[in-house]
Structure 1
Amino acid sequence: MYYQPSAQASTEPLQYHLYVPRPPYKRRLPPHIREPADFFLETDLHLNLLQKAEAMVQTVHDYSVPDTVSSYHSLHFLGVDEAMGSVLGQHVSQYRATSSDNGMSYLLLRLSGLILGPTQSLKLFQKFTRISAPGVINGYEAFTTQAFGDHSVVFVYDFYPVGQSFWMLPQLSISYMLNAKDESDLWLYICQVLAILRAVHKQKLAARVVSGSMILVDFQKRLRLNGLGIPDVLDPLSADSVQKAQADDFRALADLVFALVLKGLPRSDDDRNAALDSMKAVFSSELIKVVMALRGADEEPKLDDIVRLCGTRFIDVLEYQMNCTDAMERGLMTEVENDRLVRLLCKLNYLIQRPEFANDDNWSAQGTNYLIVLFHDYVFQQVDETGKPVIDLGHVLRCLNKLDVGVDESIMLVSRDERSCVIVTYAKIKELVDNAFNQLVRESAKVPLH
């Protein structure tokens, strides 16, 4: 059985759903130049997805962690978050756990050694579970437990692996000096947090957790706010104080912007004024006006006024997000055929070399199903004229794609001893594979006689 490149050329065009061109996108290269992203999933996206998948299943056996907590099992200790603890005024431990109800992974924030007082109620947390926004890490439930050996309160949120704290941004490095090129990132961060606060404030609630340790920076500079609802359980607000807490949310956002200049949170108004003066020398007047409105030195900051000052900057952020979406779609188009080919490979391997077929005439060298065995060799056991194995992924993909569709293209299959050969179409092989697999399914469904 020899590998003949000329025989591999397609004699007719493949079906439309096999090699669909990917969606159009903005490119500045000449038409004859190809990029690696034209053939594979973008490296950064691929690596990010692999890291997330690994983090979702990573486990380290820890005897100090209980087997189950409420309806959650397979707890994996992620660490003690001192930065989050300083914001909440509690000792905070993080765990990844699997729900017994749906098998999904969740983040458990455990506040250890906490006994709720008469004015504190976990029912207050439920108001925040109704918030639905892209930048909000959804909360689901809160409960008390003694499974850890003490009185603890556990808050359950969606689990986003591999993300980093806002404090890990490169702009916060001591050696990094902000420049005009960073303004687009600042607008991106400000607009995202404003969108989060809009969703929270619409529910007549206050976030109260706008802090660098509570903001998760995900892939493509996506910001997500964690810990919503916990401050309201620890320190309930009266109806009259909600509006003031909402204004404090905006001031906290202004302090995050100042932190990028000061490399840390401002401790006084003098620090804020110094940061603002530094920003005036680098950034546009539009950004300065927005930061001043967030700070609310002269009047209480209001969302509508701040959004009005942002103006067309929201369009810039929208364009950035749409470009990210287009890049994701292009990546998906490179992978969309994988599940189809995997199913076909599984079907073939269910049929090849099954011991129960050893005495079946249909699978003998003279049987019709023997063509499936020869086709399997044709796809995976190619050798060249000198007998060396040929490893050609393109050949494998072409053959499997044609088999999946059943094109009316003929190929020559040769036995391993090269004493016999047969010319057959992909359509015929597809028919044989489907019939043999359906027979196998029927056999597996038979009820054994006792």
Structure 2
Amino acid sequence: MAYFSNSRPQSSSSAIKIVNPADNEDKAKLHKRDSPQRQCRNILIHGYCRYQDRGCIYYHPPVETSNNPPRSESPTPPSLSAQAVNAPVFVPNAAFHAIATPPPTFAPSPSPSTFYQTHDEYDNYGDTISNHTPQLLEHQLVNQYQQVDYEDHDSPTGNFYQSQRATFVKQPLDYHLYSHPTPDAFPSTHFISDAVREELHKRSEASQLVTIPGHNLPDELQGYHSLAPLEPPVAERRKFFSWYSTVYRATSSNDGVVYALRRVENFRLMHQAAFGAIETWSRIEHPNIARVREAFTSRAFNDNSLVVAYDYYPNAQTLFEIHIKQKPPVFQHGRLSTVSTALPEATLWSYIIQIASSIKAVHEVGLAVRMIDATKIMVTGKNRIRIGSCGIADVLMYDPRLDTAMVQQEDLTMFGRLIFALCCNNLAAMNTLPKAIDMMGRQYSADVKTLALYLISKPGSHKNIVQVIDMIGTNRLVCEMDETHNSVNRLEAELMGELENGRLVRLLCKFGFINERPVFAREPRWSETGDRYIIKLFRDYVFHQVDENGNPVINLTHVLACLNKLDAGTDERIMLVSRDEQSCLVVSYKDVKACIDTAFGDLARASR
């Protein structure tokens, strides 16, 4: 502090002598101000001075000891002169907490005869406080005055300084948020919804899962690699017709796309013409059919295997797994309860319409589905189904004399069995037909029962897929089409949220090519001169802003707004300040865009 600058004999104090550089006049004033006859202000404020025996140069009145116990009421403060009243008030910049250690008791000292003429010696102390953070200041001051209780009314000046309220600096919240949360009434327009994003991430993760070792799978299979089983191992395997089959996920070496491979074990191909149906199936593109890509035989599994490649739909489940398979009981309302698997009628009609549409598409090309089974129809989205494993039956049960009309009638019968299985949650519902009809009549409308009975009726010329679609009804078909269009609208709205991302990424890539480039055209400071300097300042304006306390500003809204204005080239003007704050430029977004185009054009021409 400044009061240590007064000259005192070195024998009476061990304090370090700190002298501020000043002219002769200042030294004279300082000598006059630091008089040993002036009373120490610590006595006046706190009742005692902790530096009294450690070099304080001011006057300290003798302490009067008293054997009388202290009185409970506050003593009358001594009379103060006008100069003492106008003395500076010590105002801490941080909140103090009550100190549990009781302060020492000092008797009130008499009013000093000489008070401070000026208070310049506290100016340096105020500057020192302003250079510290409130948390550090609080820690230091509490340690320095840890024996002082500011709530002690027994102090001779307690009543006077009690009315002086401390001022506190409000610090910004230490939250790392991009921007304020958007109200529920205004959905985000910058990104897709969380539900869609989560679903897509799950599908992407399922497509890239690492193969678990221990399955003894081949490293390469006719241009496919990274094979991974999609079906969990079970004790009792279901047969595919008369053969066992397994489904794998594999990546094609030709295009890098992930496909689903269904392998039929121990199958020996007898007629090469059986693959002719696979070529026809590969040309069928329908939204409710898993497209067939190719088929081949292989001995990579140490047997004769038939492998058919289909489009892969991550996290897809079969109708059997979702609606028919028994679910384990869950703990609800304090007890275990079974999960209801009853299929809503609206969802059931949606499934019926989609399956009927796919059957119609297959029958029109002269083929039969032959795979209308709850274990082969996949649910790939919300109420979105696709028929899988198509074309395998044409290879496994190849017969050149096969009657196509007969197998198409079998498709309709299998369709009816599927409806009964979904309504009764039982694959063997047709084994007890009267009970299944009764259950269907109690849970669903008469139209569902009529359609199911028509599908399982005797084959005939009157029984075809066109008649089935007529029985479904125009109203339900129109409702299904409306729901499809609404779904498309929702997906387009989600896509609009990501539409600007590609444009902004291109801008960021241009920034990366230009900023901080070490050498170009034999110019080491190319990125720091000319138009590139404006680009650098704009980069700092967008990404390197700080608040009034020097903390970085992380505001994604500001970044997106600036990049959008830059890409549009608006005439709005902004002020760009250099990092040393010695120069500033007022430019428009249009000017910055022209600078970026010019600099990037120079780089593009040099790279050709």
Bucket of the pairwise TM-score, normalised by the shorter protein: 0.7 to 0.9
**Map 1:1-400 → 2, pairs under 5 A:** 34-36=185-187, 40-60=191-211, 62=213, 64-79=216-231, 85-117=238-270, 121-170=274-323, 173=326, 175=338, 182-237=344-399, 239=401, 241-266=403-428, 268-269=430-431, 271-296=432-457, 301-311=463-473, 312-356=475-519, 359-364=523-528, 367-400=530-563
Query: Is the CA contact (8 Å cut-off) linking 2:221 and 2:300 kept in structure 1?
Result: yes
- The CA distance in 1 between the partners of 2:392 and 2:224, in whole Å, is 20
Assess, with a 3 A threshold, how the Cα gap between structure 1 residues 35 and 170 changes in structure 2: closer, same or farther.
Answer: farther
Task: Please say which structure displays the higher CA radius of gyration.
Answer: 2
RCO higher in structure (CA 8 A, sep ≥6): 1
Partner residue in 2 for 1:21: none
* Shift in Å, 1:297: 5.2
Query: Is the CA contact (8 Å cut-off) linking 1:84 and 1:214 kept in structure 2?
Result: no
Query: Is the CA contact (8 Å cut-off) linking 1:220 and 1:324 kept in structure 2?
Result: no
Assess, with a 3 A threshold, how the Cα gap between structure 1 residues 245 and 206 changes in structure 2: closer, same or farther.
Answer: same
Query: Is the CA contact (8 Å cut-off) linking 1:75 and 1:95 kept in structure 2?
Result: yes
- Bigger shift: 221-230 or 97-106? 97-106
SS of residue in 2 equivalent to 1:342: helix
Taking only aligned residues, the RMSD between alpha carbons, in angstroms, comes to 2.6
SS of residue in 2 equivalent to 1:149: coil
Assess, with a 3 A threshold, how the Cα gap between structure 1 residues 279 and 185 changes in structure 2: closer, same or farther.
Answer: same
Partner residue in 2 for 1:28: none
Q: Deviations over 1:132-165 (max 9, x none)?
A: 2111111121111122332211111111112111
- The CA distance in 1 between the partners of 2:239 and 2:193, in whole Å, is 38
- Larger helix fraction of residues: 1
* Shift in Å, 1:306: 1.3
- The CA distance in 1 between the partners of 2:450 and 2:339, in whole Å, is 24
Query: Is the CA contact (8 Å cut-off) linking 1:66 and 1:147 kept in structure 2?
Result: yes
Q: Deviations over 1:380-417 (max 9, x none)?
A: 11111111111110000011111112111111011122
Partner residue in 1 for 2:567: 404
* Shift in Å, 1:239: 4.5
Structure 2 length-normalised TM: 0.63
SS of residue in 2 equivalent to 1:160: coil
* Shift in Å, 1:84: 9.0
Assess, with a 3 A threshold, how the Cα gap between structure 1 residues 137 and 315 changes in structure 2: closer, same or farther.
Answer: same
- The CA distance in 1 between the partners of 2:516 and 2:352, in whole Å, is 61
Assess, with a 3 A threshold, how the Cα gap between structure 1 residues 170 and 392 changes in structure 2: closer, same or farther.
Answer: farther
- Bigger shift: 127-136 or 375-384? 127-136
Structure 1 length-normalised TM: 0.84
* Shift in Å, 1:173: 4.8
Query: Is the CA contact (8 Å cut-off) linking 2:350 and 2:480 kept in structure 1?
Result: yes
SS of residue in 1 equivalent to 2:586: strand
- The CA distance in 1 between the partners of 2:378 and 2:188, in whole Å, is 28
Assess, with a 3 A threshold, how the Cα gap between structure 1 residues 178 and 50 changes in structure 2: closer, same or farther.
Answer: closer
Query: Is the CA contact (8 Å cut-off) linking 1:218 and 1:224 kept in structure 2?
Result: yes
Query: Is the CA contact (8 Å cut-off) linking 2:420 and 2:430 kept in structure 1?
Result: no
- The CA distance in 1 between the partners of 2:519 and 2:212, in whole Å, is 42
Assess, with a 3 A threshold, how the Cα gap between structure 1 residues 203 and 368 changes in structure 2: closer, same or farther.
Answer: closer
Partner residue in 2 for 1:19: none
* Shift in Å, 1:177: 5.1
SS of residue in 1 equivalent to 2:443: coil
Query: Is the CA contact (8 Å cut-off) linking 1:125 and 1:142 kept in structure 2?
Result: yes
SS of residue in 2 equivalent to 1:218: strand
- Bigger shift: 68-77 or 271-280? 68-77
Partner residue in 1 for 2:595: 432
SS of residue in 1 equivalent to 2:259: strand
Q: Deviations over 1:202-243 (max 9, x none)?
A: 122111111111111011211101111101111124555322
Query: Is the CA contact (8 Å cut-off) linking 1:111 and 1:153 kept in structure 2?
Result: yes
The letter of the residue matching 1:217 is: V
- Structure 1 stretches lacking a partner, 5+ long: 1-31, 446-450
Assess, with a 3 A threshold, how the Cα gap between structure 1 residues 267 and 286 changes in structure 2: closer, same or farther.
Answer: closer
Assess, with a 3 A threshold, how the Cα gap between structure 1 residues 279 and 38 changes in structure 2: closer, same or farther.
Answer: farther
- The CA distance in 2 between the partners of 1:374 and 1:66, in whole Å, is 56
- The CA distance in 2 between the partners of 1:279 and 1:195, in whole Å, is 23
* Shift in Å, 1:195: 0.6
Number of residue pairs matched by the alignment: 411
Query: Is the CA contact (8 Å cut-off) linking 2:324 and 2:427 kept in structure 1?
Result: no
Assess, with a 3 A threshold, how the Cα gap between structure 1 residues 163 and 84 changes in structure 2: closer, same or farther.
Answer: farther
- The CA distance in 2 between the partners of 1:142 and 1:156, in whole Å, is 6
SS of residue in 1 equivalent to 2:550: coil
- The CA distance in 1 between the partners of 2:300 and 2:523, in whole Å, is 59
Assess, with a 3 A threshold, how the Cα gap between structure 1 residues 428 and 118 changes in structure 2: closer, same or farther.
Answer: closer
Assess, with a 3 A threshold, how the Cα gap between structure 1 residues 38 and 218 changes in structure 2: closer, same or farther.
Answer: same
- Structure 2 stretches lacking a partner, 5+ long: 1-182, 328-337
* Shift in Å, 1:116: 1.9
Q: Deviations over 1:154-212 (max 9, x none)?
A: 11111111211111225765645577x81111100011000111111112211111111
SS of residue in 2 equivalent to 1:142: strand
Out of 566, 580, 585, which is 1:417 matched to?
A: 580
- The CA distance in 1 between the partners of 2:586 and 2:540, in whole Å, is 15
Assess, with a 3 A threshold, how the Cα gap between structure 1 residues 239 and 314 changes in structure 2: closer, same or farther.
Answer: farther
SS of residue in 1 equivalent to 2:549: coil
